[in-house]
A and B are shown apart, each in its own frame.
Chain A
Amino acid sequence: MDLSKALEVATATDSGMVRTHNEDSITVDAASGFVVLADGMGGYNAGEVASGIATAMLGTSLKQVLDGAEPGRIEPESSETLAVKILREQIAGANASIYQAAKSQPQYAGMGTTLVVGLFYDNYLSVAHIGDSRLYRLRQDEFRQITRDHSLLQEQIDSGMITEEMARLSQNKNLVTRALGIDPEVEPEIHTYEVEAGDVYLLCSDGLSDMVEDDEIHLTVSSLQANVQLASQQLVQMANDNGGRDNVSVILVRVLRNFPASMDWISRLSSWFRLAKV
C-alpha cells in the first residue's frame, strides 16, 4: 500500500557545532510507510559505520518485505501483527550484521548504534527502539514522548531515585543500556499505537533532546507543522544555537489523512474478531 499520499516526511541531520563527524544516520520511505533513525557510537568512524549499516539494511529490507505485505495481519503463531514481526526480524538482521562487522574488523570493535524505527500501516504506528533515540507525538495540543529511553538515567528516573527535573542536572546523560550491534542478539522494545489524521511524529537523536527543551521542541513542531521541512531544519538549528554539542538528527512525519487497511468487509470483520480475542 502506497502511503506517500497520507504521510508527509521531512528530515534534517547535522554534525552539530562541536563534532567533526556525523554518526547519525537516517532513512525514510513514505510510500512504504517507514522511517528509521540511528545514532552510532564507537571509535574513529565506527559510529558512522554502525548507524550506516543499520539504516542501509533496514531501508532496503523493510522496503522489500513490506512490498505487497499486509502489516496489519495478525500472525497466528505469535498473535502479534506482521508489522511487529517484520520489525523484530529486520532489526535482528541489522544487529547481526553490525555485530559481525565489529567482530571481523578490529577498527570497528565495540561499535554500536541506537535505533528508532516507525512503521505506519492501517492507521497504526508500530515503533521499535533501542537506546536513547526518541519518538515524540504531537496530537492536537498534546506533545509527548512515546518511547522511553534505554538509558541509565531513565532507569534512575523509573526507580524513583531521581526526578525528571533532577535528571537535567545529571552528568550521566550519555549512557545507554541497550544498543544495536553490541551483542549477538538484541531485544528491541516494540509498541503499537493508533494514528490519527493530523498527528505529527518526531524521531530524533539525543543531540536534539539533550540540547533543546521539550517545551521548545513542542512549540516548534506545533507552530511549524504546516511546513515539516522547515520545522525539521528549525529544530536542528535550535540544537546548534544552543551549543550543538552532539550530532543532531530529526525526522518529522505529518499524517495528512487516514490510511485504513484496504480490505473487503469480511476480512475486516474477521480480523476485527481476531484482534478482539487478543
Chain B
Amino acid sequence: MKSRYQNRIELLQGTLDLLILQTLRWGPQHGYGISQAIRVNSGDILQVDTGSLYPALHRLERDRWIAAEWKVSENNQRVRAYRLTAAGKKQLVSERSRWAQLSDAIAGVLEPAKKENEA
C-alpha cells in the first residue's frame, strides 16, 4: 500500500508542486480548497489524490516555499491554511519556465514532422 502511494507522488511530483504553488498565488488556501481549485480549474480533468496532496504540501512547507497557519474558516471550522512565501514565488517562476521548456520539448518530440516542414 505504502509503495503505491509513493510511486504516485513521484509520478506527479514536479507538476503537483507547480499546480499547488500556482493555486496559492491567488491567496491562502487550505488543503481541501487547493484540491478543489485544481479540479475546477482543470475542468475536472486533474483529480488530486489526497495521499499525494498532503505529502506534497508538507514537503513544500519544509522547503519553505509555502507557510502554514491555523485559521477559522467561514464555516467556523479550524483549518490549516497555506500561503506562498517570497521564496515560493521565485520557485513558482522558475518552475513555470521549466514547465514551459518541458512542454515545448515534448511538443517538439511529438511533432517532429511539422518542424521539418517548416524548415
A and B are partners in one complex rather than unrelated chains: no
